[in-house]
């Protein structure tokens, strides 16, 4: 008695219903295991998807020039 219906909304926008304190959201990189061709050698790296998009588009990232995704 006395409670309103919550409709199973869960946690969204740091709104806990009488349970816990507000917690800051932790952002983690989306890492992928990718085979990259760098200076005629193929190496496996763990890179984030943002970097992977840059490599596919510009064929370079940071100090690495002439880098590409190796296809099997």
- As a whole number of Å, the CA-based R_g of the chain is 22
Confidence of residue 11 (pLDDT cuts 50, 70, 90): low
Q: Which residues constitute the domain of residue 42? A: 31-69
Is 0.85 topped by the overall pTM? no
Q: Does residue 22 sit within a domain?
A: no
Confidence of residue 63 (pLDDT cuts 50, 70, 90): confident
Q: pLDDT digit string (tens) for 13-40? A: 666 666 667 778 888 999 999 999 988 8
Strand order across the 67-69 sheet = 41-48, 31-38, 67-69
**Residue percentage of the chain with pLDDT more than 70:** 69
Number of domains in the chain: 1
Q: Does residue 4 sit within a domain?
A: no
Residue 61 is predicted with a pLDDT of 86
């Amino acid at each position: 008695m006395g409670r309103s219906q919550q409709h199973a909304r869960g946690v969204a926008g740091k709104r806990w219903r009488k349970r816990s304190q507000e917690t800051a959201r932790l952002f983690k990189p989306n890492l992928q295991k990718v085979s990259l061709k760098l200076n005629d050698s193929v190496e496996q790296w763990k890179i984030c998807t943002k970097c992977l998009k840059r490599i596919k588009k510009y064929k370079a990232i940071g100090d690495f020039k002439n880098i590409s995704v190796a296809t099997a």
